[in-house]
Structure 1
Amino acid sequence: MKLIKQAFTFSLALGAGVTSNAIALELYVDTKTKQIYAEPGPGRTRLGSFERVEDKQTSIPAVVPEPAAQAAPASSAEITAIREELEQKTNAITALEERVKDTEKVKVKYGPGLHFESADGNFTAGIDGRVQVDSQYNITNDVLPATGNSTPNELNSGANLRRARLGVEGTVYKDWFYKFEYDFSRGNGSVTSGITDAFLRWTYPGSPFSIKVGSFKEPFSLEEATSNRFLTFIERNMIVNTFVDNPNTYKTGIGANWAEERYQVGLAFQTEPVGSWSSAATSVNPNGNNSRNNGSGDTSWEVIGRISFLPWKESDSKFLHIGGSGGHTVVNSQFQGDGDFNNGGMSFAAFPGANVDRTNVLNTSNLTRGVKGAPGSRIIDNYNRFGAEMALVYGPFSLQGEYIQTDVHGTGYSGESLFGYYGYASYFLTGESRSYRKETGAWGRIKPQRNFDMKGGWGAWEIAAGYDYINLNDGNVRGGKADTIKFGLNWYPYPNIRLMSNYIHVLDINTAGVADHRSAGFNNANLDIFETRVQFDF
């Protein structure tokens, strides 16, 4: 086409210098320079004969080429060059299409956390985390004076990093869910103690049934099932901390779950955790259990489960929640060859909602003590836990309460019952309602009706008040008992930021007759505590 245009232009130029009775003009093109010539020569190929005709309307000479059939055919070299050029362009287009497809293979989004997803949806990954900065000021700190070489019994004021977690979770081929989370504030330097969740879960396609294997929370208690990001008060109530959380609720095992719109059931068979809750705890008990590395004892294990349902539900902001939990735990108490107690056992301890100074105000001490088989020795073989829970949500108003009982069995014990309960009410001044997650039968994230801004947005404001009681005295178990009242004020400027403040007043502490000297020093103590938390999660 380019050659014909050049020939046409050249013909017009020639047309000005020839007579009107000229019949035809022979044209040639140089195969290298592509120049048009009127005479043949070396390297020139004949284009054909062109006839000059008169345009009657404009009197502009026009040149009409001979029919294409008369044009000389292209050489094989030219055809090969055209084919090579066409192949190069095709390859370039194919490469560009592949690059476009590559950019579409992974989708990235935020909300909350950074999420990645393959184009076919078979693979996902999300990075999330949380930071909780707490402070504690002890307004009233009247305790018994220390005796002998004991340190003072008082609680200390200060601030600390309560939690600093980073995790990744996602799916593999849609039906497989994985999660790994690490808490940099746990374990007092023990690397494995920082592991919380580390499991793989498979969901039967199209059903509410799932199975998971790894390290995960015990299915026990409404407040324990609720993430610490979404608790109403800064710390969990005493019975949940004492019987579930403090002995390390993250244990290794296998679990099954069935979650419908109105109810969920969770069962698990679990053994000892990956690491310790603190430097003193390496197993299901907080006394240090060296069952691994020839600790001369079997690993502790438990069977545990929880069920919850909504017997009444008018809407997502008006419903009644009821549930129950139960578990049987076998405790590993280890002895030396001569019968002396080596390690293991179990103890239960409590603190009155403090978070910076978590001194055990109540403490049963180790329930395994003495020489095996000797008179007066005691060995905890197992304990059973039972729990009942209730929650009501009616718009911005909510109620929540739980009862937990732990029965101790073994040598020197006859089913001593340690128990406690709590109850509290909360109200959102800005009209929000508590969020409920059907997958876990627990509370979820609060989303303000209007985020905080300088144009009248206040975020969400919540007030709360509650009562908390625990009794660790029964039979041969003497750990003390206590009850408190507490008040909370929470501000949610955005869904992922929360500021909390709690005031706790201890009504009574009775530690008379407990074996632990520190706990005994808090008998009849007068304590008032003010706490704050700044929390950010993504």
Structure 2
Amino acid sequence: MKLRTAIAAALFCAFGTNAMAYDLLNDWPTKYKTADGYEIGLKGLFQYQYEGYSGDTTNPSNGAEFLPDMNAWRRKEINLYGKTPWGLDFNIGYDVTIRNGAPATGWIDNFVRYTNKEAGEFRIGQFKTPVGWEETISSSATTFLERSLPVQATNMGRRIGADWTYTGIKDWLFYLAYFSGGDLNGDNDGDGPAARVVWTPFNRQPGAGSREESNVLHLGLAWSQEDRDETKDGRGVITPPQARFRARPESGMTGTRLIDSGNLNYPGDIDRLGLEFAWIHGPLLVQAEYLTFSADPRGKPSYDGDGYYISGSWVLTGESRPYSKGTIGNVRPVHDWGAFEVALRYSSLDLNDGPVLGGKEDNWTVGANWYLGQHFKVQANYIWANSTKYYGGTIKKNVDVDPRIFEARLQIAF
């Protein structure tokens, strides 16, 4: 108990909060529930992050530094939520992070949902889109600090829409959605359907104290189709419908993308497809996705890109990663001093196709995570990023840009 309290105090002091008022392993007093089952509360996710770069950190075109070291808030998310005993709940979420003098995100999950045991879950509002499974997993529960290259390029982000989730058939999850109207931050104008199906042929998760090992197999397929809209700004300037596929080098605060398809005007229907795999066996987690996307730019050849990642993690202290309704959660430590996890990921993304020379990137990442109770998490990653892209101008050739990245994060979630 003394060790736990001392560590909690140190971490809370780093975030400027009094630690001694809370027990690390119990729920914090951020919710209120009435005797007849109504509940209202606050959820929060605060992440402070450091990113350090070495090796190739300058732009080949002009020699300017485009990967500077930085440390700042990655996320400061606040959610107000409510639940009723008869199946209705809501969430109002906003990321208040200001980075480099500008809002980093803005509105996040905002929805109203009704859940019926026989009919499933019906939701309307803004929430994450399904293709790119790693992105749909909570930002507080990712194995690595940032999402993989292909997930960044493929996932549509949060959109306004309506969806339905059904888990009434044993071992299966079905998901249907239609997104329309962009997002609440004024971006991503477009609309279209999405679907996902997950099969879990075995899902054994023994309770606390059991000597049995967890054993979960997740197999998923996700698809979406998007029709982008033209946009008009306050000055009356019209931007045609565009598709663009790109990814940061698995470091989340930089604005630099080592590979980028550029804008594909009048792209027609944008199709996205994802194959999902995960196996949890005791302290082992193996997770992988293959993702592909396509567009049909007016007057130009059709464009296709794809990528994949495979990752593995091992909880050194013996706990298993929890799994529920097609998503993976954080380790729940059984020791007062927490749980430790090591991880490895390989990811690849190819944005070259015909006349589009977006580039190709392959990254290796090693990671370590320390879970201290249910509210604190400390993460560190080291990334070997390797990219090849055609540069025009005076260069007119393929150039390799291979930075090395160290990043670390302190997280509080409740």
If asked which structure has higher relative contact order (CA below 8 Å, sep 6+), I would say 2
1:263 aligns with 2:167: no
Please say which structure displays the higher CA radius of gyration: 1
1:131 aligns with 2:73: no
The code of the aligned residue for 1:270 comes to: F
1:398-413 equivalence runs, <5 A: 398-413=285-300
1:119 aligns with 2:35: yes
- Structure 2: gaps (5+ residues): 1-25, 207-213
Answer whether contact 1:143 1:522 (CA < 8 A) is retained. Answer: no
More helix by share: 1
Answer whether contact 2:216 2:279 (CA < 8 A) is retained. Answer: yes
Cα deviations by residue, 1:389-428 (Å, 9 ceiling, x for unpaired)? 1001110011000011001123134432110000011001
1:171-250 equivalence runs, <5 A: 171-185=83-97, 194-204=106-116, 206-207=117-118, 209-244=120-155, 247=156, 249-250=157-158
1:463 aligns with 2:379: no
Please report how far the alpha carbon of residue 313 of structure 1 lies from its aligned counterpart in structure 2 after TM superposition: 3.0
- Of 165, 168, 174, 2:80 maps to 168
Cα deviations by residue, 1:329-374 (Å, 9 ceiling, x for unpaired)? 00124699xxx97344121111211123241111111111xxxxxx
Answer whether contact 2:241 2:267 (CA < 8 A) is retained. Answer: no
Cα deviations by residue, 1:167-203 (Å, 9 ceiling, x for unpaired)? 1112135211111111112798777951111110111
The code of the aligned residue for 1:446 comes to: V
Distance 1:142 1:537, change over 3 A: closer
2:19 equivalent in structure 1: none
SS at match of 1:427: strand
The code of the aligned residue for 1:195 comes to: W
- Of 249, 254, 258, 1:357 maps to 254
Runs of 4+ in 1 over 6 A off after TM superposition: 186-192, 519-522
1:534 equivalent in structure 2: 410
1:310 equivalent in structure 2: 200
Answer whether contact 2:131 2:154 (CA < 8 A) is retained. Answer: no
Aligned mates of 1:113, 1:344 — CA distance in 2: 47
1:500 equivalent in structure 2: 379
Aligned mates of 1:111, 1:154 — CA distance in 2: 42
Please report how far the alpha carbon of residue 208 of structure 1 lies from its aligned counterpart in structure 2 after TM superposition: 5.5
1:467-506 equivalence runs, <5 A: 467-506=346-385
Distance 1:271 1:509, change over 3 A: same
Distance 1:112 1:218, change over 3 A: farther
The code of the aligned residue for 1:271 comes to: S
1:512 aligns with 2:390: yes
Aligned residues: 378
1:20-419 equivalence runs, <5 A: 111-112=27-28, 114-121=30-37, 123-141=38-56, 143=58, 145-147=60-62, 152-185=64-97, 194-204=106-116, 206-207=117-118, 209-244=120-155, 247=156, 249-260=157-168, 262-276=171-185, 282-284=186-188, 300-316=190-206, 317-333=214-230, 342-368=239-265, 379-419=266-306
Aligned mates of 2:165, 2:262 — CA distance in 1: 35
Q: Which moved more, 1:130-139 or 1:307-316?
A: 307-316
The code of the aligned residue for 1:431 comes to: G
More strand by share: 2
Aligned mates of 1:189, 1:521 — CA distance in 2: 36
Cα deviations by residue, 1:89-127 (Å, 9 ceiling, x for unpaired)? xxxxxxxxxxxxxxxxxxxxx725622122211x21121
TM-score by length of 2: 0.84
Aligned mates of 1:461, 1:385 — CA distance in 2: 35
Answer whether contact 2:76 2:96 (CA < 8 A) is retained. Answer: yes
Distance 1:213 1:144, change over 3 A: closer
Cα deviations by residue, 1:70-105 (Å, 9 ceiling, x for unpaired)? xxxxxxxxxxxxxxxxxxxxxxxxxxxxxxxxxxxx
- Structure 1: gaps (5+ residues): 1-109, 277-281, 285-298, 369-378, 453-458
RMSD over aligned Cα, in angstroms? 2.7
Aligned mates of 2:128, 2:54 — CA distance in 1: 35
Cα deviations by residue, 1:266-325 (Å, 9 ceiling, x for unpaired)? 11111233344xxxxx422xxxxxxxxxxxxxx520211211121123445211110010
